[in-house]
A and B are shown apart, each in its own frame.
Chain A
Amino acid sequence: MTNSIGELEKDSRCIFVIGSNPTDNHPVIGMKIKKNVLYNGAKLIVADARYTDLASIADVYLPHLPGSDVALLNAMMNVIIAEGLADQAFIEENTEGYEEMAKVVSSYTPEYAETITGVPADDIRKAARLYAQSGPAAICYAMGLTQHSTGTDNVKSVCNLAMLTGNLGRPGTGVDPLRGQNNVQGACDMGGLPNVYTGYQAVTNEAARAKFEEAWQVKLPDQNGLTLTETINKAHHGDIKALFVLGENPMMSDPDLHHVEAALKHLDFLVVEDIFLTETAQLADVVLPGACFAEKDGTFSNTERRVQRVRKAASAPGQARPDWEILCDLATRMGYPMSYASSEEIFKEITSLTPSYAGMTYARLEGKGLQWPCPTIEHPGTPYLHKDGKFSRGKGAFSAIEYKPPFELPDEEYPIVLTTGRSLFHYHTGTMTRRCQALDEHVPEAKLEVHPELADKLSIIEGERVRLSTRRGSIEITAHVTERIVPNVVFMPFHFTEAAANWLTQSDLLDPVAKIPEYKVSAARIEKL
């Protein structure tokens, strides 16, 4: 997030939620947004194919079809420019590339966008005016915006919208991705990515590489590595021979599980370190037992860049050990001695090599934690980025983006759009929440959300078991008939191994930049059993 969670509760006067269902997936953030809207008069715009809890209290609800985000956002910008609602001073002072962007969006009239998005043109106008005129305005998005073959375009489009209206660099504004995992921000910050070391220092940058070579006393590779999705593909082709999976479950979370399974089985060697024998671990040659979050010390970085302490509360079961100890032992056995007395000692090494974390210590993280960038020991941390429109790259860059349809559109054979996501009562691949007694008792199975019109057409009733198929395969699932979704789209959660959504999703076409799969749009078919 460019800004902080607390601002959504009080500072934002307008919140635009697109491709995000916070009351289910970031419930405490959802609570703050509801509070701001219902008791504090903030305006709310929700764009989602599902009529979410937030949609039900929105000033404007835009039920746009999955994959039509760029068309919707361009049309909103079209209205803002046409009606003179853009923040010209902000644009002139702080940005570049406006003309090219404006030229592209000029053809996206709300009427044209209506034909792509399914959203009435007047509602697009209403949303555009509300966002542009009720500032400070924040945009919240999540995987509903990013898990598309145009995910990068979608994110650039929301950035365009924020810059066009000067909604950056002040409390209550911002472009706020709500990140889905406790430490996905931290895993990125720590260089758990194929192209960067900690703090986003590029592996291809010679100075950065020299710094890490000096610190680690070893020669380092100078080419970008493979992304996760590319790694699976390369394993399938036989180019990747051995894979170490630390606390991930690609056999549930990755697209097209047939493809993932074939790829993992094709490896010469697979080692999985986890707290349970996950679907992925079952395919491993060696499984290593890790300690869970309650059994070790360390830090997590949340979606607002806040680094907070994790503290050991109990011993790990049996011989399970913290992952950092296991990694040290393994490195040492492979001829690279690695040894730390504590997680704090590792953190000191991190801060010595990472400018945005340089001012942090465990002592300073007690209590409220610190939000990066925190470059010096006196620095109080940074609640919001781009203060006064000053961007880290210099001028904020507008991108001129044309709408591209999703990879797999419905056709005669597969006439419905399947979109996937999470539910309030379970988490990601279900590894943990399916083993929580109360959560699994309350929601024991996956349900396919089907609009009554579609259910009527297919003669499906509430609670009926149906077969859901895509070009990848099919599963059996229970139908839940609900008006909270647009008619030709069906939704299912991906937590349940008995009916795993990712047997159905495709891995053929990824976003060309982020390599993110298009989980949110698959052409599907429903049949009665």
Chain B
Amino acid sequence: MIRLTINGREVEAPRGSTLLQACQLNGIEIPTLCYDPDLRLAGSCRMCIVECKNRPLFLASCVAPAEEGMVIETHSDQIMQARRVILELLAARHDFSCQTCDKNGDCTFQDYCYEYGIKESSFEDGGRRIYTVDDPNPFLERDYNKCIMCTRCVRACEEITVARAINVENRGHHSKIAVAFDGYLEDSPCVFCGQCVMVCPTGALTSKVSAGQGRAFEVDRVLTTCTYCGTGCTLELNVKDDRVVGVSSNREEEWSPVNKGALCVKGRFGWDFINSPDRLTTPLIKENGEFREASWDEALDLVAQRLQEVKDQHGPDSLAMFTSARVTNEENYLAQKFTRAVLGTNNVDHCARL
């Protein structure tokens, strides 16, 4: 452990910590935009700067190593003023259309602008660059008018998904996130996992499937397990007015042990079957080759009666049950119990072998 002073308080941190980690360990909150604990460090946005006694320059705490005896100020007047300038610089390329943005209320950049009182940028000389928003893919919206160039999307694509579809194009004021030759995502190695949406601290990257259906402060997030393949990824169903309107990630390993919030295209964008108008909503009984709606009582009485008749006439082994790799353990348990204890046969199987 090493000892240092942060905001007048003596604290300890493990050797090898960054200043940001030392602050976080000691309950001191530092604003960050480009920093992501799961990604390699960029140290580019400078929001996390702190003042260190006897150092002429502010230190970007996310990349600066904590050293024995350092004396750090994290929220001095000078630091606060510098962060305001940094936010204004970033805001110079940000389209503040918060009223209609899906990230409204769940936007780190908006939070900091609010906290530091940034309403506009004095660096917008000659106006913002305007980017067209026209990627035709059906999954994710790319609005680079809101991008602050933190590059978390680039690093997530490279380090979590390992698709390496996007990178920074051009330099300086002209820099922009792009696929090769600034084309469309579908012509790139993009696999539409949406890890970039997960890490984006602004509204530059959002889900087209969820667009307009509910903002963060309107939805409840219910942690559950994905319904597709056998990997068992954890995801959060976003629910507004008793309706699933999207999927988000819980990135805590404690709650997302398999995937730490990472998902695939089906997990993140393949949820709207839940609300499909094709969903079955009532029992159906076939009469003269046509289905008609029926009550639960009528349908279950008919099923019970017919199964019983077959069992009585032909014996229990003339009955069979296909249970399901899709339904819960509890339901599979009851399905085989029903087959064995009620139908009286071991003819129960499911698609494990298909």
Contact = CB atoms under 8 A, between A and B. Distances in A.
B345 A239 contact: no
A299 interface: yes
Interface stretch (B1-9, B76-84, B254-262): B254-262
Given A319-B296, A425-B265, A183 B139 contact: no
A335 B311 CA distance: 13
A484 B335 CA distance: 42
A227 B346 CA distance: 9
Interface string A164-184: 000000000000001111111
Interface string B192-209: 110000000000000011
Interface in A259-276: 268-269, 271, 274-276
Interface stretch (B52-60, B93-101, B109-117, B229-237): B229-237
Contacts of A317: 279, 281
Nearest to B234: A308
Contacts of A112: none
Contacts of B192: 442
- Scoring A244, A274, A441, A516 by chain B CB atoms within 10 A of each residue's CB, the highest score goes to A244
Contact of A284 (B264, B286, B325): B286
Contact of B332 (A192, A244, A292): A192
A156 to B, nearest CB: 16
Contacts of A301: 232, 329
Contacts of B244: 294, 313-314
B272 interface: yes
A309 B224 contact: yes
A193 B354 contact: no
B325 A187 contact: yes
Contacts of B302: 286
Contact of A247 (B284, B291, B327): B327
Contacts of A198: 333, 336
Nearest to B228: A427
A438 B138 contact: yes
A253 interface: yes
A285 B259 CA distance: 42
A346 interface: yes
A29 B282 contact: no
Contact of B341 (A216, A367, A369, A435): A216
A343 interface: yes
Interface in B238-297: 239, 242-244, 253-255, 257-259, 262-267, 269-274, 276, 278-286, 291, 294, 296
A310 B344 CA distance: 30
A330 B237 CA distance: 31
A297 B242 CA distance: 15
A218 B208 CA distance: 53
A190 to B, nearest CB: 4
Nearest to A177: B230
A432 B274 CA distance: 8
A186 interface: yes
A308 B308 CA distance: 36
A153 interface: no
Contacts of A25: 229
B264 A186 contact: no
A27 interface: yes
A277 interface: yes
Interface in A185-217: 185-195, 197-198, 203, 212, 216
B306 interface: yes
B230 A181 contact: yes
Contacts of B26: none
Interface stretch (B13-21, B65-73, B124-132, B157-165): B157-165
Nearest to B263: A28
Contacts of A321: 296
Interface string A214-253: 0010101101111111010011000111111111101001
Given A221-B345, A276-B276, A294-B274, 15 more contacts: A189-B329, A192-B352, A218-B341, A226-B349, A242-B306, A287-B280, A287-B284, A288-B283, A292-B274, A300-B328, A311-B222, A327-B334, A336-B342, A425-B266, A514-B353
Interface of A: 5-6, 23, 25-29, 31, 34-35, 38-39, 146-147, 178-195, 197-198, 203, 212, 216, 218, 220-221, 223-229, 231, 234-235, 239-248, 250, 253-254, 268-269, 271, 274-277, 281, 284-290, 292-304, 306-315, 317-324, 326-331, 333-336, 338, 343, 346-347, 349-350, 367-369, 424-425, 427, 431-433, 435-439, 441-442, 514-517, 519
23 contacts: A5-B258, A184-B350, A190-B329, A220-B341, A229-B353, A246-B322, A246-B324, A248-B351, A269-B306, A281-B280, A287-B291, A293-B224, A309-B225, A310-B224, A314-B242, A335-B342, A338-B334, A343-B328, A343-B330, A424-B191, A424-B265, A438-B139, A514-B353
Interface of B: 137-139, 159-162, 186, 191-193, 208-209, 220, 222-234, 237, 239, 242-244, 253-255, 257-259, 262-267, 269-274, 276, 278-286, 291, 294, 296, 299-304, 306-308, 310, 313-314, 316-342, 344-354
